[in-house]
Amino acid sequence: MAALAEIRGLRKTYGDVTAVNDVSFAIAQGRCTVLLGPNGAGKSTILNILAGLLRPTAGAIAFSGLPPEADRRPLIGYLPQQVALFGWMTGLEYVRMAGELTGLGRAAARERAAELLSILGLDKAKDRRIGGYSGGMKQRLGLCQALVNRPPLLILDEPVSGLDPGGRRDVLDLLRGLKDESTILFSTHILPDAEELSDDVLIIRAGAIVVDDSLATLRARHEQPLVEVELGDEATAAAWLERLSAIGGFAERRGSVVRCRFDSAEAMRDGAAAAYRLAAAEPGPVRRVHLGHTTLEDLFLRAVES
C-alpha cells in the first residue's frame, strides 16, 4: 500500500515529560487510520506535530512527493479538538475566511465555502451567526474549514467528542462519505466509532505505539466468538458467571452483562445452546442472549492495560 506520509522516530518532550517517544508509522494513501490511546497517551501531540502546529523534539515526517524542508500545511486539513470559531461571524463568512487563509482567491473561497456548507448540511444556517449554532453544527463548520483547500490528508482530533447522539451520528455519516475520497487520520475514545470508520488502527500507550495494523488483520488475529447474557439487574450476575463458566470457554462479567469467549465457532455454538437452555429455564432476570464476537474494545483494553 502506497504511503502518503511516513513518520519516523518522532519524539516530543516538555521539560522532563516525554509526551511522544520514538514513534514511527506510515499513513497509507486513501485509507482511514484511527489513533487510539488512553488520556495523556500522546495522541493530540502527534496530531499537532503532523498538522505543523507543534515542533517535534526529534524525528522526521516525509510526505510522498514533497521535499523534506517544504511546508506540508497545504496538504493537510486539520480539525483540532477545540475549534476556534468566532461567534459573531456567519458560517459562510467563517468558511470563506478559512478559504482565503489557505490561499484561495475571494471568488473561489466564496464558491468553495457555499459548496461545503451545502454538502455538510449547513446551507440553511450559512447566513446565521455561529454563536447560535448547536454543537453538531459547529463541528460540521469545523469540518468545512478543514476541507476547504481539498487536502490530500484530513487530520481530525476527536471529531465527535462533545456531540449529542444525533450530532455524533451526523458527523460519523459525513466522515463515512469523505472516507471514500480522502486519506483520514483521526483520534477518538469511542471504540465502536473507530471500528465503524477505520481501515488501519494505531494504539499508543505512554507515548509509544503498541498496536499498528489493519482492522481486518486485527480481527483475523484476535477476534473470538462469544455469548453474552445481559441481565436486568446485577443481583444474579454472580450466579450467571458461575453457570457460564461451567459451559466451557472463558467467562467474565462486565456490570450486568456476563459473557463467555470461545476459541472456535463450534465451541461457541455448543456454549450458545447451553446458554439458551439456561436462559429459557430461568427467563426472569435475562433481558437478552446475544451471539457475537469480541470487538476492538477488547483488544484496546488488553493493549493498554497489559
Of the two residues 19 and 203, which places its CB atom closer to ligand ADP in the complex? 19
Q: Which of 43, 96, 138, 259 binds ligand ADP (CB under 6 A)?
A: 43
Find the binding residues for ligand ADP in span 11-30 (CB under 6 A): 14, 17, 19
Of the two residues 14 and 88, which places its CB atom closer to ligand ADP in the complex? 14
Residue written as grid cell 469467549: 261
Q: Which of 42, 91, 152, 159 binds ligand ADP (CB under 6 A)?
A: 42
Of the two residues 84 and 281, which places its CB atom closer to ligand ADP in the complex? 84
Q: What is the smallest separation between the CB atom of 7 and ligand ADP, expressed in angstroms?
A: 15
Other CB atoms within 10 A of residue 249 CB = 21
Find the binding residues for ligand ADP in span 239-298 (CB under 6 A): none
Of the two residues 42 and 80, which places its CB atom closer to ligand ADP in the complex? 42
* Count of residues engaged in binding ligand ADP, rule: CB under 6 A: 11
Of the two residues 19 and 109, which places its CB atom closer to ligand ADP in the complex? 19
Residues 6+ apart with CB under 8 A from 272: 227, 289, 291
Q: What is the smallest separation between the CB atom of 98 and ligand ADP, expressed in angstroms?
A: 24
Can residue 91 be called a binding residue for ligand ADP (CB under 6 A)? no
Q: What is the smallest separation between the CB atom of 190 and ligand ADP, expressed in angstroms?
A: 14
Q: What is the smallest separation between the CB atom of 54 and ligand ADP, expressed in angstroms?
A: 9
Phi, then psi, of 203 in degrees rounded to 5: -115, 125
Q: Rounded to an integer, what is the distance from CA 66 to the centroid of its chain?
A: 27
Q: What is the smallest separation between the CB atom of 296 and ligand ADP, expressed in angstroms?
A: 17
Sign of CA dihedral 164, 297, 20, 47: negative
Angle between helices 106-119 and 135-147 (to 10 degrees): 140
Phi, then psi, of 29 in degrees rounded to 5: -55, 130
Q: Using alpha carbons, select from 182, 170, 180 the residue that is nearest to residue 146.
A: 182
Q: What is the smallest separation between the CB atom of 95 and ligand ADP, expressed in angstroms?
A: 26
Find the binding residues for ligand ADP in span 171-210 (CB under 6 A): none
Secondary structure class of 304 (helix, strand, coil): helix
Q: Using alpha carbons, select from 208, 209, 190 the residue that is nearest to residue 198.
A: 190
Q: Which of 4, 7, 10, 37 binds ligand ADP (CB under 6 A)?
A: 37
Piece of the chain touching ligand ADP by CB under 6 A; list 25-33, 40-48, 253-261, 270-278: 40-48
Of the two residues 52 and 74, which places its CB atom closer to ligand ADP in the complex? 52
Instruction: Please answer whether residues 261 and 294 qualify as being in contact, where contact means their C-beta atoms are separated by less than 8 angstroms.
Output: yes
Can residue 39 be called a binding residue for ligand ADP (CB under 6 A)? yes
Find the binding residues for ligand ADP in span 44-83 (CB under 6 A): 44-45
Other CB atoms within 10 A of residue 16 CB = 5
Could you give the dihedral angle defined by the CA atoms of residues 46, 48, 52 and 53, in that order, rounded to the nearest 10 degrees? -140
Strands (E), the chain: 3-14, 17-28, 32-36, 58-63, 76-79, 153-157, 183-187, 200-205, 208-214, 225-231, 250-254, 257-261, 286-293
Q: What is the smallest separation between the CB atom of 118 and ligand ADP, expressed in angstroms?
A: 32
Of the two residues 40 and 105, which places its CB atom closer to ligand ADP in the complex? 40
Phi, then psi, of 49 in degrees rounded to 5: -65, -45
Footprint on this chain of ligand ADP (rule: CB under 6 A)? 14, 17, 19, 37, 39-45
